[in-house]
Structure 1
Amino acid sequence: MWLVEDTESALRDRVREVLRAHPGSQRAFAEQIGLDATKLSKSLAGTRRFTPAELTRIAETGNVTVNWLINGSDEAETVAAAPQRSAVLSRTGDAQEAGRHQQILDAAWHLIAERGYHAVRVSDVAQQCGVSAATIHYHFPGRDDLLTEALRHSVRQAFDRQVAELHSIDDAHERLLRLVELQLPKPGLLRLEWSIWLQVWNESARNPKMGVLHSDSYTRWHDTIARTIREGQQQGVFVADTDPDDLALSLTALIDGLGIQVLTDRPGRSVERMRQVLHDYVNRDIVRH
């Protein structure tokens, strides 16, 4: 009980630290993350808890990670494998400059996801942000840097969502099904993330540098699945006679294949069908009967 209260208190302190570093008032910050100012005040006072979605938005707007908000470190051991250090945003430096960098990154990420990497020009990103092309080049020297950072942005977003959604779920079976849910290419943010991944897979085939970054990022996702399965084996809810890495390999491959089919609108493939197939696989091959 005290441990939970201490953790929540430390979380509120770190959110206050984000607020102090962010330009503008607390009300303006609340508006920026789409949260009623009264709810933010109540959460800071400890009379309500931040939701996973709110923590994710606070982290993104404050240029921090959810892992840092909850556990006090970007690389703390948690329910999801942490990204490589290079994929973690720095909290040091000028807040206004960091805000500009994030604005450009958000614009580039959405444009690449919606139009395709090769259809996006630096001038498009500049126009979207209302800045000069020189400003874009200051933050991202080359066009390839935009795709590289878009991938890192997706990795950070996925990690933040996983930590925010899963840190309070102790049952490994429930956590694994939630991981599956967080990976479904639903309309909106998740479908855009899938678009980024498809383009990264394509570029990785011709660009060794992008291939290394993709490999590091994908390893994080594989390790998150594997550690969840390993914990489920320790809890006695998953089969104990199969290597967790082998099960993770099969599950991630199934997710990838089904996700591509959903994104390319193959007849009979939908998010609902994908969810059912993945649940059937988990219940048939991973859950202990």
Structure 2
Amino acid sequence: MTATSDAESGGGTREEIMEATFRALSKHGYTDLRVRDIGEEFEKSRTLIHYHFDGKHDLISAFLEYLVDQYEDRPDLDADDDSWEVLGARIDQCLFGPDLGGDFDHWDRMKVYHELFSQARHNDRHREIFNEHYAKIRGNITRVLEAGIERGDFADVDPDDLAQLVTDVIHASRARKISLGHDDAPEQARRAIDDFVLPALDPECASERDAARDGGPR
């Protein structure tokens, strides 16, 4: 099969290139990575990489989009869904990752993700992709909060601010585990969210806080 006919055969080759890119990044890191290194991880002809992508930066941008797409979902609430369970599941997925299968787990992929994140200030396209992904993570949490508030399951908090806080905690705990070796950081973050953030969503707790504030010293 020629490079052209293989390239036109569907998304299979591109996905194989993406996985080869992941393996190469895991071995060499972003700074020292060469297209040749990716080719060594790719079982087909290296010319296919050059057919699909215009050099290293184009390939890494495509890989980053491929990586974040694996973490995208839209946790909209159905009529019979429990607001607390949907919110908890979304937080857990962001902290601990979905089951992606294959040879590399969530944390293998997060190591590469955070290395590229640390370089985003030097690449406008990468910064744009990360901003879009960050907005989607925050937006997913915001929608769950808004739906729960509308139902009366959650207290009437500012969903944007609370979603931003949760998203920041998730990102910081993942970075602490990956960069500093604090393996318990995600679990600690989850406990802190349970103990200090989610109680703000409990309508009864919110009513008690409001009553205490109204009856307190002026």
Name the TM tier (shorter chain). Answer: 0.7 to 0.9
In the other structure, the counterpart of 2:20 is: 107
Equivalences for 1:6-17 in 2 at 5 Å?
Answer: none
Contact 1:259 1:274 in 2 (8 A): no
What's the offset of the Cα at 1:115? 4.1
In the other structure, the counterpart of 1:36 is: none
User: Number of matched residues?
Assistant: 194
Equivalences for 1:26-37 in 2 at 5 Å?
Answer: none
Q: Distance in 2 between matches of 1:192 and 1:115?
A: 14
Selected match of 1:273 from 188, 204, 216: 188
What's the offset of the Cα at 1:262? 1.5
Selected match of 1:238 from 154, 171, 182: 154
Q: Distance in 2 between matches of 1:115 and 1:167?
A: 44
Contact 1:183 1:190 in 2 (8 A): no
Structure 2: gaps spanning 5 or more residues? 1-5, 98-102, 205-218
In the other structure, the counterpart of 1:216 is: 132
What's the offset of the Cα at 1:255? 0.9
In the other structure, the counterpart of 1:263 is: 178
What's the offset of the Cα at 1:171? 1.7
Aligned-partner residue type, residue 128 of structure 2: V
Equivalences for 1:101-180 in 2 at 5 Å?
Answer: 101-113=14-26, 115-159=28-72, 162=73, 170-180=81-91
Q: Distance in 2 between matches of 1:235 and 1:135?
A: 52
Contact 1:176 1:228 in 2 (8 A): yes
Residues 165/156 of structure 1: CA separation in 2 closer, same or farther (3 Å cut):
farther
Q: Distance in 2 between matches of 1:273 and 1:155?
A: 24
What's the offset of the Cα at 1:173? 1.3
Q: Distance in 2 between matches of 1:244 and 1:199?
A: 30
What's the offset of the Cα at 1:94? 7.5
Task: Say if 2:163 is the partner of 1:248.
Answer: yes
Structure 1: gaps spanning 5 or more residues? 1-92
SS of the equivalent of 1:285 reads helix
Contact 2:30 2:116 in 1 (8 A): no
Cα deviation digits, residues 146-205 of structure 1 (max 9, x gap): 22122211221111xx45998797222111111111122469522133223312322221
SS of the equivalent of 1:184 reads helix
Aligned-partner residue type, residue 119 of structure 1: D
Q: Distance in 2 between matches of 1:127 and 1:210?
A: 24
Q: Distance in 2 between matches of 1:113 and 1:167?
A: 39
Contact 2:7 2:52 in 1 (8 A): no
Q: Distance in 2 between matches of 1:188 and 1:281?
A: 33
Q: Which has the larger radius of gyration?
A: 2
Contact 2:75 2:90 in 1 (8 A): no
Residues 182/237 of structure 1: CA separation in 2 closer, same or farther (3 Å cut):
same
Cα deviation digits, residues 41-69 of structure 1 (max 9, x gap): xxxxxxxxxxxxxxxxxxxxxxxxxxxxx
Contact 1:226 1:248 in 2 (8 A): yes
Contact 1:176 1:229 in 2 (8 A): yes
Q: Distance in 2 between matches of 1:274 and 1:287?
A: 19
In the other structure, the counterpart of 2:11 is: 98
RMSD of aligned C-alpha atoms?
A: 2.9
What's the offset of the Cα at 1:214? 1.7
TM-score (norm 2): 0.76
